[in-house]
């Protein structure tokens, strides 16, 4: 059986992360200081936390892919312009610039 980390520590870390992304716990959770959940409530809360963290991870990966695509498009455009305007000499300069 896989050992679970201390639930109150995990909940505290997840709660902090959720606050950073704009999620606020319900007042009853604040009143209980996130430490006195019933096991079902704890599992439901952790599942919500995992879903939010997973969604943020997907958004971050999508943003990174978009940035990489924009960079590739810009580089291709610069290369095309250099080749069209100056021939092989410009192409070599662009390749050196990219390094």
The answer as to whether 27 is a domain residue is no
Query: Which sign does the torsion angle of CA 46, 52, 53, 58 carry?
Result: positive
pLDDT at 62: 94
pLDDT at residue 84, rounded to an integer = 78
Q: Is 60 part of a structural domain of the chain?
A: yes
Q: Considering only residues 98 and 65, tell me which one the structure prediction assigns the higher pLDDT.
A: 65
What is the pLDDT averaged over residues 44-66?
92
Range ranked top by mean pLDDT from 19-23, 44-48, 73-77, 94-98 = 73-77
Domain-located, residue 21: no
Structural domains of the chain, count: 1
* Within a domain: 32: no
pLDDT at 67 over 80: yes
Q: Count CB atoms within 10 A of the CB of residue 6.
A: 8
For residue 66, being part of any structural domain is answered with yes
Domain that holds residue 57: 37-99
Residue 20 lies in a domain: no
Asked whether 63 and 71 are in contact (CB, 8 A), the reply is no
């Amino acid at each position: 059986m896989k050992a679970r980390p201390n639930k109150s520590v995990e909940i505290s870390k997840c709660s902090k992360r959720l606050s950073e992304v704009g999620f606020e716990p319900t007042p009853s959770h604040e009143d209980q200081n996130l430490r006195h959940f019933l096991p079902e409530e704890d599992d439901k809360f952790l599942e919500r936390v995992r879903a939010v963290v997973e969604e943020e991870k997907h958004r971050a990966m999508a943003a990174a892919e978009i940035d990489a695509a924009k960079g590739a498009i810009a580089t291709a455009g610069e290369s095309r312009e250099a080749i069209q305007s100056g021939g092989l000499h410009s192409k070599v300069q662009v390749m050196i610039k990219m390094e």
